[in-house]
Structures are given as C-alpha cells and as structure tokens.
Chains A and B, each alone.
Chain A
C-alpha cells in the first residue's frame, strides 16, 4: 500500500489573494491546467476526477474529461485530503490511472458563486442558528475558551500562533500577509468572538489548487520529483458545534492521524514537516496536541518558544498558513500544496532535508478530518 502512488502534478491558481477577474469554476480550471503542465499531461491523460463545492461534472465538462472514477466527497475544508486518499486507493485498485483533484474558491470576491456553503444541518437550524451561531467566526471559536479553562492557554498563546506563521509568510512572495507583526498587534486587532481577534482568524481570499496522482511506476518518467503517498486517515464525527464531545480536544484529528501514522508506518520523530489547517489560531494548538506532538496544554508554549518557527525542530505551516498565506473558505488543498513543495525542494521558505511531511486537514467545525503522510523517498 505504501508509496505505490505518487503526486506528479501540483499547482495553485496563477494568482491567489484578491482575484476578482476569475470566476470560481475557472479558479479550479486554471489550477488544473497548471498542474497538467507541471506533470507534462493533457486532459486526455486524465481518467479520474475529484473535487468539492463544485460538482465533478462541472470540472469534467470544462476540461473535456472522460473519467472512469469520480469523487465528490464534500466534508468541508479537508475534502481534498479525503480525495487524495480515495484516489490512491482507486489507482491501486485499477479504477483509474491518472487522477486529477481540483479546488477553486472565490471566497473573497464571490465571483461565480453564491458564497461559502455552510452545509447547515437541520439540528443546526433549530438549535443553534436561532441563538446567533451563523458563521465559523462565531461557531468554530466556541472550543477555545474551554481549552483555556482546562489548560491555562492564554490569548497570548493564540497570538503567538499567528506571529510564528507570519515569520514563514515573510519569506513567501505569494503570501497575503508578510509584514512583521507583534503579539500585541495580534491581540489588539479587532475583536471578532472573544477571545478570538481578527488576526487570530484565517484570511478570506480567492484561490485554487490542483493535484495529479498516478502510479509510482509511471511517476518515474514524469518531469517532477515524485511525492509518494505513504498513508493517510480520514473520519467524520459530530455535526453541530454545540455537541462537540470534548471542547478541549480535536477527537477527529486524533482518529485520522492515528490511522495515518499506522498506514504510513512512521512515528512522530519521522515527521520533518507539518501542516495543520489553521482556520483560526487555536487549530494548530488543538492539532499539535491531538496529533500527539505535544501533551494536552503544552502546544501553546511549544509554538511560543519557537519550535514550529523558522529554525525550529518542527516546521509548521511554512507557507504562512490560512492566517497569513491564503484561505478562500476551504484550505486543505493549500496545506497539501505546501507539503508537496517542501518535499520537492521548491518551497519559498524551504526547510532543509524534508523527507516526510504530514498534512492535517479539518472539515466543518471539527466535524471531519483527514491526514496525509507524504514522502520524497521511494
């Protein structure tokens, strides 16, 4: 199972950030065309398609694809890690040979889209929405205070999560926020949902990305250094934030990552590079703890003390993350893109000697998660 499938094409849309001149579907297609060029492939070579938010038939129609494998799994921001894991299994099973995964979102400019589909459930409409739980800033933030209460996590710790990622973004010309920022500036930015301030929230941008996978055997003859899929995990759990089983712990991260570690046959010490989907500043903290890199209550200090920053022992969110690089509404694709770049040696803020990267995604408000473990070692 391990390392039998490789990523041979990977690209983001030509532009990310503020891109009102490109509609949402064309953000998918722009990235797809760039990924195909990256792999030396054409639409005629693609026999599998996966995407979310847009229905796969839209992307197939635009690119002229005739897939024999289709996946539209839509579990929020980590859907792309779900797609990748499914694509790997499909190639191993012979359902397709060359699978394209696309993402595109006009989150900021809202061109060609009615906006982020919150996928409200019936229980949410009856028991949460009437109280003013409308959007991620006033739902995804509810667990923070419980974590603070149980562990002593502070607003300063949350601010450090942004500051450390800004240090990575400073080295990245495509990052939306690059200027140096202080802990005080993050803490005193506009209050959104106490204790979360504006700079503790992810960006809202326009962006797209695409990945192409094929067998490791075929990957040998392709232009880019192959990035192999070692293993992964995926899960779904609860679906209303008020019913989160443990507000101080991301159960879904633990479930998905445990499976990923087992499938990949690696341990924490083997991870050279880590991406944790940061919809908000507390996500990297919940992530480091649930993934087992830190004990509960220790991740805040771990980040503050520089262990995830440039020069640190566990480079984290090295593109700047959703808080500093880009975040159109769903971010999982961009976490994967940075893992791929780091493994190819082409990242803007390249870390030396990266051989194994883990990308952890979240869907909804801790409703779903998926993990990918990738390597450049065959």
Chain B
C-alpha cells in the first residue's frame, strides 16, 4: 500500500519561510525589540511578545542538538532514517533529517556541524535538510 509523505502547506504566518525554501534560503524571524531570533514562524516575539519582528536570511549553519535513528516506519520513509533537532548558529532549533551520510550513529554524531540543503517538494515548498558541514566552521 502506497503511503505518501506529508507535504507542508504554508499558512499566512509561515508563507515567508516556505517561499524562502524554494529560493534555497533559510529564513528566520528576529524581534527588533529584544533582538532574539526565533523559529518556528509567528507574528510576535516568543520572548517579549513584541509585534515588531522582521524576517532575515540565516546562514544555514548549525549543530546537531539531539537525534534518533528511527526504525519505526513512517509513511513515505525508508527505515532506518535519522530524525534530528539542529540548533542553528543564530539560536533557534528546528527538526530535520541528516542527509548525505549513512543513517547510523557511526556517521551522525551529537554536536556535529551541519549546513542546510533544500529538497524541492513542489512549487510552494522545499524541505530543509542538513548535511555535514564542509570545511572548517566558525570557532565556537
């Protein structure tokens, strides 16, 4: 039985993010009052509730904050597959898959530097996945 992956459907508050993905841009929001960057998208700051927020394009770099290697089947996924939370350079975290490497703990590690890659799904959205960062990353 064919089961399909879920395709994200943009909503008014998330449109800027998904538009960005189709242009290979990882867009986050930042509060102009308290300077905190945040994700997921929302029209007011999760830190201080200010509505004065702006969209900006992030570097796409981050580190693996936590992950599993799932052998629990999900529609449209072949197991095993990685499921990770990446902490972006700018602070916010997001869920993703780690790609470009075998899906095992031999190749995926905690705090591994990664960078965003965009996987087209349709005209409206590309998924944001992460691969091991190439070359040196900024010293932390």
Q: A104-131 toward B: CB 8 Å interface, digit per residue (1/0)? A: 0000000000000000001101111111
Query: Residues 1-22 of chain B: 1 if any A CB is under 8 Å from the residue's CB, otherwise 0?
Result: 0000111111100100000000
Query: If the complex has contacts A126-B14, A149-B110, A242-B85, are A131 and B72 also in contact, measured as CB distance less than 8 A?
Result: no
B127 at the interface (CB under 8 A from A): yes
* Minimum CB distance partner of B38 in chain A: A243
Q: Does A146 make an interface contact (CB < 8 A)?
A: yes
Q: Is there a chain A Cβ closer than 8 Å to B95's Cβ?
A: yes
Residues of B within 8 Å of A294, CB to CB, are none
* Interface: B68 (CB within 8 A): yes
Annotate A242-264 by CB proximity to B: 1 below 8 A, 0 otherwise: 11000100000000000000000
Complex Cα spacing A95 to B111, Å: 53
Which of B67, B80, B83, B96 gathers the greatest number of chain A CB atoms within 10 Å?
B83
Complex Cα gap A193–B72 (Å): 7
29 residue pairs bridging A and B, Cβ less than 8 Å apart:
A125-B8, A126-B8, A126-B9, A127-B40, A127-B95, A130-B5, A130-B6, A131-B127, A133-B74, A133-B95, A135-B72, A138-B72, A142-B68, A142-B83, A142-B85, A149-B111, A190-B71, A191-B71, A192-B71, A193-B68, A194-B69, A195-B68, A196-B68, A240-B95, A241-B95, A242-B93, A243-B93, A247-B65, A247-B66
Decide: A193 and B11 in contact? CB cutoff 8 A.
no
A344 within 8 Å of B (CB atoms):
no
- Distance of A154 from chain B, by nearest CB (Å): 14
CA distance A137 to B41 in the complex (A): 26
A324 to B19 CA separation, bound complex (whole angstroms): 48
Q: In the complex, are the beta carbons of A192 and B72 less than 8 A apart?
A: yes
Most buried by B among A146, A149, A242, A243: A242
- A122 and B40 CA atoms in complex are apart in Å by 11
Checking B81, B105, B110 against A132 with a beta-carbon cut-off of 8 angstroms, the contacting residue is B81
Q: Of residues 13 to 38 in B, which have CB atoms within 8 Å of A's CB atoms?
A: 14
Q: Interface size bucket, B side?
A: 35 or more
B8 to A: closest C-beta gap in Å: 4
A304 contacts across to B, CB distance below 8 A: none
Residue of A nearest to B8 (CB): A126
Task: Give the Cβ gap from A265 to chain B, nearest Cβ, in Å.
Answer: 35
Contact status B74-A134, CB under 8 Å? yes
Q: Is the CB of B72 within 8 A of A122?
A: no
Residue from A126, A128, A133, A193 whose CB has the most chain B CB atoms within 10 Å: A126
Residues of A near B76 (CB, < 8 A) are 132
| Residue A143 is within 8 A (CB to CB) of chain B in the complex | yes
Q: B135: CB under 8 A from chain A?
A: no
CB of A318 closer than 8 Å to a CB of B: no
**B94 at interface (Cβ–Cβ under 8 A)?**
yes
Instruction: Please provide the chain A residues from 127 to 166 with a CB less than 8 Å away from any CB of chain B in the complex.
Output: 127-135, 137-138, 141-146, 149
Distance in angstroms from B71 CB to nearest chain A CB is 5
In the docked arrangement, what's the CA distance between A169 and B76, Å? 38
- Residues of A within 8 Å of B74, CB to CB, are 132-135, 138
Q: Which residues of B contact A126 (CB under 8 A)?
A: 8-11, 14, 40
Residue of A nearest to B66 (CB): A146
